[in-house]
Amino acid sequence: MATRKVALTLFSSSTCSLCTTAKDAILNVQKQVPFTLSVVDIHKNECPKEFAEKYMFDIPVVHLNDHFLTMHRVPEDQLLKAIQKFQNTGKIEKI
């Protein structure tokens, strides 16, 4: 069985302490299971306007392969389980 590729996107801001904590948790999980990580600052032009407006008051927000996964907190154990489930089944379960 082939393992599905995982790409996480972290919508964050440089002034958000929860975002720093979320990124640390994501990087810890990345040590256990490989995936790509993109960090998008919602206050910069790189962030699509729809997400900047939608997530303005809810960062950090994490997407798994362009699908919403979680916001505000990123528990390492739940993130790991969500990634493993996606790899095994192709299903994305929100945290």
pLDDT value at residue 2: 56
Q: In whole numbers, what is the pLDDT of the chain averaged over residues?
A: 94
Pairing of strands 61-64, 67-71: antiparallel
Specify whether the CB–CB gap between 55 and 62 falls below 8 A.
no
Q: How confident is the model at residue 4 (pLDDT cuts 50, 70, 90)?
A: confident
Arch. (CATH architecture) of 7-89? 3-Layer(aba) Sandwich (3.40)
Name residue 68's beta-bridge partners.
Answer: 63
**29 C-beta neighbours (distance < 10 Å), count:** 22
The pLDDT tens digits for 16-36 are 999 999 999 999 999 999 999
pLDDT above 80: residue 1: no
How many angstroms separate the CA atoms of 27 and 34, rounded? Answer: 10
Q: Is 67 helix (H, G, I), strand (E, B) or coil?
A: strand
CA end-to-end span of the chain: 25
pTM of this structure:
0.92
